[in-house]
Structure 1
Amino acid sequence: MQKTVFVYRATSNHLEVCRWQDIPDMVFIFIRVIPFVMIGIVLMLLISNPALSIAALAGPALVGIGLASVGGDSSYQTYWQDFQHDDYLWSEVLEAMLDAEQGLIVLTLAYELPAELAAQIENPEQFTSQDVRLYFRKDQQTEVIAMVRSQIPHIVLTPGRQIYEF
């Protein structure tokens, strides 16, 4: 039920990329409603069979209340939607590749590994560049290519094929 949403904003100086998992709002509504259903079931069980201990039924009711508080929390929703925001300068683009078959432009940018990470990696010299992927629909291809070419006119947009490594 998840899909990744990409939003790009290009200015004359930089490219802004936002990415998140589009989890249906129905999931978070369900998390907020389920506790009331659980409490209703607990009350019905207690009324129908008084021999049931209140202590035995309190656990599911408390779990339901906990779910309601977590499901309604906006920071919980942001965490599970995996929201990321990045800015890249057009001036740092080293090369660009167009994969028209997949609807993708890959921009390779200069990248400097932070010192604390470089100290933990055996060969930090291999991390000198970073790829940024710009996805687009086929019907938007000409507009996206024109926008990228206007922002980085000194770099040739070479055709190629993106290979995903896992």
Structure 2
Amino acid sequence: MFTRKPLTLPPQLQWQYQDEPALAEWSLKARPYNTDIANGIFLIFLVICAVVSVWTGEDVAESLGYQLLWGGAMFVILMSAVVSMTHQKTKFAYRLTASGLEFCEWKAFPEWLPTLLKWLAVITGVVMLMLVMVHPAALIGAIAGPGLIGLMYLRMGTSSQFRKMHEQFHQGFHPWSDYTKMIVFRRRSIIGLDFTYFNPQADEGKGRMIDTDRLIYCRKSHYNELIKIIRAQLPDSTPYEEAYIQIYA
């Protein structure tokens, strides 16, 4: 169920209860953080990038054509960097059985990114050289723009540490009896299941119980059906609430 456009799962993923029939299973990409803040930052940088692009275009280029060429190239480069920060997505996979909820979240290094930067360095280099013939001041941009992008490409292509920073894998399971409350956040199609666990590192190593929640990211088309499936597995006494869920990650 819910296998529309499934993601390619990590090879190390093995469902603990794979022999049990799935009540529902799906995979998707989601933004596991406060998107309101991220979208606000994006809009702020959108205005800043537009102003910077127009200002640098007017300063370097003489004709309208070169102004548009320079400003457009600068805007695309800056906004590409902004989007990569404010719209990052993590991959999720879920499997619901009679025993409980199994989940997996992972990030893989985007293999297309070094290729994109390589071609971006080439294209911006050509654009900068064209502008240098019109205005000598563009030489600074020709060095700074394609040069820095080229260094980033070499850094990503040769650094195993950089790749590890952009890779993660986390898998877990909770029986339905662990959950003490269900919260539905309809605006983002998220289901939150509260539970507690013992953290031995808390209170300077003394350990104590921690209250937290497991967030389940869903597609809007499956959201209501998933709510019914999950509520049917929880005890009737489990509190249910429709409210805003604060995402701190």
Q: What TM-score, normalized to structure 2?
A: 0.43
Tell me the residue number matched to 1:16: 102
Q: Secondary structure at the match of 1:24?
A: coil
Question: Which structure ranks higher in relative contact order (CA pairs < 8 Å, sequence separation ≥ 6)?
Answer: 1
User: For residues 165 and 4 of structure 1, do their structure 2 counterparts lie closer, same or farther at Cα, with a shift above 3 Å needed?
Assistant: closer
Residues 33-66 of structure 1 deviation map (CA, whole Å, 9 limit, x = unaligned): xxxxxxxxxxxxxxxxxxxxxxxxxxxxxxx8xx
Give the whole-Å Cα distance in 2 for the aligned partners of 1:7 and 1:90.
18
Equivalent position to 2:213, from 112, 124, 131:
131
C-alpha distance in 2, partners of 1:27/1:68?
Answer: 10
CA offsets, 1:87-126, max 9 Å, x none?
1121111111111112111101121112xx035268x54x
> How far off its partner does 1:14 sit?
2.0
Which range moves more in the overlay, 21-30 or 140-149?
21-30
In the alignment, structure 1 residue 104 sits paired with structure 2 residue 194: no
Matched-pair identity in % = 24
Unaligned runs of 5+ in 1: 31-63
SS in structure 2 at match of 1:83? strand
The CA distance in 2 between the partners of 1:77 and 1:10, in whole Å, is 32
Q: 1:1-166 residue pairs with structure 2 within 5 A?
A: 1=84, 2-27=88-113, 80-114=166-200, 117-118=201-202, 120=204, 125=208, 127-154=209-236, 155-165=238-248
**In structure 2, how many angstroms separate the alpha carbons of the residues matched to 1:86 and 1:77?**
24
Question: When the two structures are aligned, how many residues end up with a matched partner?
Answer: 132
**TM-score, normalising length from structure 1?**
0.61
Alpha-carbon distance between aligned partners in 2 of 1:96 and 1:77, rounded to the nearest angstrom: 36
Output the aligned Cα RMSD: 3.6
**TM superposition shift of 1:150:** 1.8
Distance (whole Å) between structure 2 residues aligned to residue 91 and residue 85 of structure 1: 19
Report deviation, 1:77: 5.7
Structure 2 regions of 5+ residues with no counterpart? 1-83, 117-153
Answer 1 or 2: which has greater helix percent.
Answer: 2
